[in-house]
Amino acid sequence: MRYFELFAIPVDYNVDLVKVSKNYLDLQRAVHPDRHANASSRDKLLAVQNAAEINDALQILKHPVKRAEYMLSELGVDIRAEQQTLQDPLFLMQQMELREELEELSTSHDPDTAIAHFEQQIKQLDSQYSAQLAEQLASNDEQQWQLAADNIRKLKFVYKLRDELERIEDSLFDD
């Protein structure tokens, strides 16, 4: 099942999430198992399977990293099971610096300002890598797709930082 086709949206990294949600509801209404209550056991099972596949498709299309991985896999580049690491020393150095800054947030004399500054850095990196990723995925060049795989790995780092920042914020402001 091709997810973009299923949801009747263009194959593009930048999706219209409102349209995705609307189409999801339409699809779920059409295949919902309750609509097949009087059907054969086989048809009921098929309805449940279709509903599950639509749910899976929604989860992938909603999440930028999962969507990018899916797009690459559709192009024949599957990085989900791959254990390749980034070979970008500047990025890795930047990640180390960001991790140090993240660790220092909880002991900062002004955690609100420090957190706001850190969030801004994360947003900027997310925007930068997402923009590059959109261009790379739209390309017909396999070399660009490999660069897209690297940007997906970078976005995963950014998302981990964002998650860790949320945990720090929760611990600081839940006291």
Domain extent listing, the chain? 3-62, 89-173
Q: Residue 5: pLDDT above 80?
A: yes
Chain segment 86-112, per-residue pLDDT in tens:
778 899 899 999 999 999 998 889 989
Residue 8, Ramachandran bin (φ over 0: left; ψ between -120 and 50: alpha; else beta) = left
Chain segment 43-63, per-residue pLDDT in tens:
888 888 999 999 999 999 999
Q: Domain spanning 3-62 has what CATH number?
A: 1.10.287.110
Percent of the chain with pLDDT over 70: 95
Q: What is the pLDDT of residue 48?
A: 86
Q: Look up the pTM and report it.
A: 0.85
Q: Domain spanning 89-173 has what CATH number?
A: 1.20.1280.20
Rounded to the nearest 10°, the torsion over CA 51, 52, 53, 57 is 100
